Chains A and B, each alone.
Chain A
Amino acid sequence: MSKIVRTVANQLILFIFIFGLYIIIHGHITPGGGFQGGAVIASGAALMIVAFGSSRIQKGIKEKHLSILESSGAVIFIGLAFAGLAAAGVFFFNTLIGSPVFGHTPPTGPNPGDIWTGGIIPLMNVAVGLKVFAGLSAIILVMALASSGEEVEE
């Protein structure tokens, strides 16, 4: 792509990533969540692939690294569900709800200015976000590589 596109993409990517992270971390109190935020971040990755070309991106990020990230996202999610089983004896039990991880006991219900109200839900959102970002980016990268005629690594 032209220099204009690459420069704009370079500036924009930071904002896209921050917006995606915001949607993931606020997933339990505002509209959005892990899937939506992950998709936003993956759209940033798609922008980079379009602007710089898949072969150049591939030098930095390999598909196999993304698939490891994707698997880890899923493992973290299920691991958090197992944490409930280990701590309280029930699968998916919200072990962290109401616990003062950040120094104070969080309030329950809607409130201004405190995002630590969901227990393990935000952490699960992060895990889902990681999985969706890595999965979608890997798909876009592989499809871009395949359509540019380069060999895709197994």
Chain B
Amino acid sequence: MNFLTSNSSILIIAIPLLAAFLVPLISKASAKGRNIFVVVVTVFVGILVAILAKDVYANGAHIYTLGAALPDITLPRGYIVPVRIILEVDGMSIFMGIVTAIVSLAAVVYSLSFMKRETGQDKFYTLFLLMMVGMFGLEFTGDLFNLFVFLEILSISGAALAAFRTRFGDTVEGGFKYLSISAIAALMVLFAIALLYAQYGLLNIGALAAVIQFTSLDKLALALMAIAFAIKLGAVPLHMWVPDTYTVAPASITIMLMAASQACLYALFRIGFTLYGGTTGTISMGWIVIILGVLSMFVGVTMAIPQTDIKRLMAYHSVSQIGYMLLGVGVGLAVLGDTAALNAYGRQAMSGGIFHIINYALYKGLLFLTAGALFYRLGTRDLNKMGGLARNMKFTTIFFIIGALAISGIPPFNGFASKFLIYESVYQFSPILSIIAMLVSIITLASFTKVFQAAFTGPALPQHKDVKEAPRSMLIGMGILAVVIIFFSLCPGLIVDNIVQPAVDALINQGAYINGIMGGGL
């Protein structure tokens, strides 16, 4: 247990990496064995995330130095800057780790049936595990260059998976679009890292944050990284890839891509709060994030209304939901230097935004999975060709209702809890922003009412008369998310106090992050 606790952060990254390359070898022996192996690995990683979470909440940031004599020696004797690859897992990182673990578990169980008809499944699971590696690595790393490496792992495996079902022509387009925007974003990040490295000779985020001067080159680096991550998380006006890629990817991969964009959101916050948190740029940075957020919220939801393709509609809602997180956390970033305002409403806005990350991943994941189940049984995503499905697909209908109510922020569901935190606190910052957020929520409800009415109620279409319920593993995958949503809805206070607040504190407390690296000498 002690061994697992002290090594959990690296094992969470290393075990899926090892498993990814064992999958093709196991696959030669037995396809069933491979499926069991992948599920077992994902569950084990989930357990490790729980162990690490327990450690982080009890003892503060978890530091792991690769290749050192002991994991916590970040500065060996005689060194004034850290030279090794260092993982630093604080409250915010582990929060994102929990999101990734839940989403991957649901996605892998769902894939067992969903991908059954496809060829080359060993490649699918290899890429799937690599995608997990990329996400966990991005969230746990304390090193800028590693951030870039994991971003690349994530992008390449994500693009290959989005285009996986090549028998449908449009998937290749979606995958290619994702690959192109990822390549542009990754190059921008790499260039920004080069700018910082050239000036300070450092790559470690904590060490850089301690010495950063906010020169004009630093501002350029910040702008490049902010744009790159805004592309990757799909904020308006850089959202053009989201509907195309989310629509055509297999449903289980759509939710992984969604978790990947959350990981990029985390990277944006980490750069803004931790790397540049001590500089004078936080106010303008905060306002840029707020403007991006409000634009995403409003444009996303208005674009969603006219869609008739169910997954495309949900993809536009994703853009809109990302806006809430940007708005909440952006308000916190804008008032970061002003302690009175931060305590009055900044912290609350941030906890709303961060709580919304996990809520969004859960209910949006559930909605995408129900859309995937409809596609699996009907072979179409067109809402005009659906109708009366509630008769035959009872569980899918129930899951859809849970997801739709949660996304629209209807009490008592978890979406209400986080949205209410955002409304309340943002109102004190700027009433008009709060009103826009509420308006967007109402339009979201209207839009999902339309989907529910079109797909599940009304007379059954003759061609779908004897459509069957989704296969069992897909129901279990959806069930995992639904159970977590209900748990979060019943006790939002517990979640906010125990996992959201540590994340907020970790973002605000830049000194603790720096000290985790620079204080770990001999």
Contacts and interface: CB of A to CB of B under 8 A. Distances in A.
Interface string A86-129: 00111111100000000000000000000000000000000000
A94 B21 contact: no
Nearest to A85: B7
Contact of A90 (B24, B65, B120): B65
Contact of A92 (B20, B67, B120): B67
B69 A90 contact: yes
A140 B22 CA distance: 23
A131 B336 CA distance: 47
A67 B10 contact: no
B70 A90 contact: yes
A53 interface: no
Interface string B5-36: 01100110010011011101100100000000
Interface residues of B, number: 25
A81 interface: yes
Contacts of A71: 21-22, 24-25
Contact of B7 (A74, A75, A91, A154): A91
A95 to B, nearest CB: 10
Given A68-B24, A78-B14, A85-B7, A154 B120 contact: yes
Interface in B79-97: 85
A84 interface: yes
Contacts of B7: 85, 89, 91
A79 interface: yes
A146 B180 CA distance: 24
Contacts of A90: 65-71
B9 to A, nearest CB: 9
B119 interface: yes
A82 interface: yes
B22 A91 contact: no
The interface residues of chain B, by DSSP majority, are classed as helix
A90 B28 CA distance: 32
A67 B28 CA distance: 11
Nearest to B72: A90
B65 A78 contact: no
B383 to A, nearest CB: 35
Nearest to B84: A92
Interface centre among A71, A81, A89, A92 (most CB of B within 10 A): A71
A92 B87 CA distance: 13
B69 A82 contact: no
A81 B22 contact: no
A142 B352 CA distance: 51
A152 to B, nearest CB: 12
Contacts of A82: 14, 18
Contacts of B85: 92
B431 to A, nearest CB: 51
A91 B25 contact: no
Contacts of B24: 67-68, 71
A154 B119 contact: yes
A59 B215 CA distance: 61
Given A68-B28, A91-B10, A75 B67 contact: no
A49 B71 CA distance: 47
A154 B17 CA distance: 24
Contacts of A91: 7, 10-11, 14, 64, 66-67
B67 A84 contact: yes
Interface of B: 3, 6-7, 10-11, 14, 17-18, 20-22, 24-25, 28, 64-71, 85, 119-120
Interface of A: 67-68, 71-72, 74-75, 78-79, 81-82, 84-85, 88-94, 154
Given A90-B66, A94-B67, 13 more contacts: A68-B25, A71-B22, A71-B25, A75-B22, A75-B25, A79-B18, A81-B14, A82-B18, A85-B7, A88-B69, A90-B65, A92-B66, A93-B67
